[in-house]
């Protein structure tokens, strides 16, 4: 068995070396949010992303001590980017958890922002992330190189696909 060695420590995560590979270990619970809109016929239409260096990424953040629940943290992460709250519980969907290779869980939420005013402005807490937010067509998601984004999208797509079969 090989030993883990802490290479770098920070307030939110540590970098460890194990078996000559580096891993990020998160100290706080990680939340990912996938905003979406649905078309008039009830199928998935657009997905909200952060576009950075021609890569699509999910909105991500950590659960802090100020957040009462993971859902409150997810709404805060979304608000930091679009400057609007999504208060209706019916708009939110829990997509489950994914296990990070370093052992931490990543909690996934999807949120319907079809009836929400999206206004990413320079006033937002995370200016850089807000300026890179955009809605893309759902069929463009498969061009992402982010495995977390693809996994979350597949879970969301599965929900809409299963519901369309029931109709």
148: CB partners within 8 A, 6+ apart:
32, 58, 98, 106
CB 22 within 8 A of CB 101: no
The closest of 102, 107, 90 to 155, measured between CA atoms, is 107
Q: 79: which 2 tokens?
A: 């608000």
102 Ramachandran zone, left/alpha/beta (phi>0; psi -120 to 50)? alpha
> What's the mean pLDDT in 100-108?
75
pLDDT of residue 111: 95
Distance CA 142, CA 107 (A): 21
For the chain, the domain total comes to: 1
| Average model confidence (pLDDT) across the chain | 83
Residue 61 placed within a domain: yes
Q: How sure is the predictor about 2, in pLDDT bands with cuts at 50, 70 and 90?
A: low
pLDDT of residue 96: 92
Provide the residue range defining the domain that includes 153.
Answer: 33-96+110-166
Residue 22 placed within a domain: no
Q: How sure is the predictor about 130, in pLDDT bands with cuts at 50, 70 and 90?
A: low
The closest of 45, 29, 31, 26 to 109, measured between CA atoms, is 31
Residue 3 placed within a domain: no
Distance CA 101, CA 161 (A): 28
Q: How sure is the predictor about 127, in pLDDT bands with cuts at 50, 70 and 90?
A: low
pLDDT of residue 128: 57
Residue 28 placed within a domain: no
Question: Does 120 have pLDDT greater than 70?
Answer: no
Residue 12 placed within a domain: no
Residue 15 placed within a domain: no
> What's the mean pLDDT in 140-157?
84
Residue 21 placed within a domain: no
> What's the mean pLDDT in 123-145?
73
159: CB partners within 8 A, 6+ apart:
93, 95, 110
pLDDT digits (tens, 9 = 90+) for 23-61: 877 677 789 999 999 988 778 889 999 888 888 888 988
pLDDT of residue 167: 65
Q: How many helices (H) and strands (E) does the chain have?
A: 3, 10
pLDDT of residue 74: 93
CB 80 within 8 A of CB 61: yes
Distance CA 155, CA 33 (A): 12
Residue 7 placed within a domain: no
Q: What is the CATH number of the domain that holds 60?
A: 3.90.79.10
């Amino acid at each position: 068995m090989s030993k883990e060695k802490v290479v770098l420590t920070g307030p939110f995560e540590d970098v460890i070396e194990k078996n000559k590979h580096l891993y990020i270990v998160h100290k706080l619970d990680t939340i990912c949010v996938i905003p979406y809109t649905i078309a008039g016929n009830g199928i998935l239409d657009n997905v909200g992303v952060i576009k950075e260096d021609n890569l699509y990424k999910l909105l991500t953040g950590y659960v802090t001590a100020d957040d009462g629940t993971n859902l409150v943290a997810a709404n805060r992460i979304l608000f930091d980017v679009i400057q609007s709250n999504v208060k209706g519980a019916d708009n939110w969907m829990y997509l489950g958890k994914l296990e990070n290779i370093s052992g931490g869980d990543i909690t996934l939420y999807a949120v319907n922002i079809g009836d929400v005013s999206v206004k990413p402005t320079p006033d937002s807490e995370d200016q850089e992330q807000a300026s890179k937010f955009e809605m893309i067509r759902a069929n463009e998601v498969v061009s992402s190189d982010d495995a977390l984004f693809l996994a979350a999208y597949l879970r969301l797509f599965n929900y809409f696909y299963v519901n369309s079969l029931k109709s």
